A and B are shown apart, each in its own frame.
Chain A
């Protein structure tokens, strides 16, 4: 176990709805990033937060947004859900500074119908 926990584990939403996914980072890790993994593909970077500020973003539209809290936990929000948003959403945390390992949670499986 990595110590990174995500909730919920599974979720079904209807197209057009909004969803919030949550992540608790490993103790002492102040950098949290989110990835989307479509079936049969590698994870794709959505964005990263460091000390409550977004410090990197992948090629995802603005309806994907996030937050990081003072305890370094994080949320991923997706508005106006589309069928193509169905995927496994992964959260990863990293310890402070430098070239460091990223540890992933078990993911949230989102299905949009």
Chain B
């Protein structure tokens, strides 16, 4: 069935360094790939997304890349800050269909 794999499950980086989270998806018909940040006690917050007709997208310190052939997509956070500490979810969907989430990456920014 449809599946999204996410790695690593936990990531610790020094403040100011970069963090990379990688995901793979199984359904080749997926055409929309959002990333969500979830802080304790809150719902997931959309931070960036990419559509299948684009290979890369950047928004300030956050960038996402998509390799449709390999069915891989990644989140890159540069110049990490303490407020980046949270759980990050990658996800995939087809148009306005259900969103399939990865299991999440807990990101710790070390002082």
Contacts and interface: CB of A to CB of B under 8 A. Distances in A.
B31 A99 contact: yes
A99 B51 contact: yes
B101 A43 contact: yes
A33 B43 CA distance: 14
Contacts of A31: 96
Interface string A75-113: 000000000000000101010011111111111000000
A50 B34 CA distance: 21
A42 B101 contact: yes
Contact of A42 (B34, B45, B103): B103
Interface residues of A, number: 30
Contacts of A6: 43
Question: Which of A31, A45, A90, A102 has the most chain B CB atoms closer than 10 A to its own CB?
Answer: A102
A58 interface: yes
A103 B47 CA distance: 11
B43 A94 contact: no
B46 interface: yes
B103 A105 contact: no
A56 B49 contact: no
Interface string A16-60: 000000000000000101010000111111001010000010100
Given A41-B104, A42-B104, A99-B31, A48 B98 contact: yes
Contacts of B91: 42
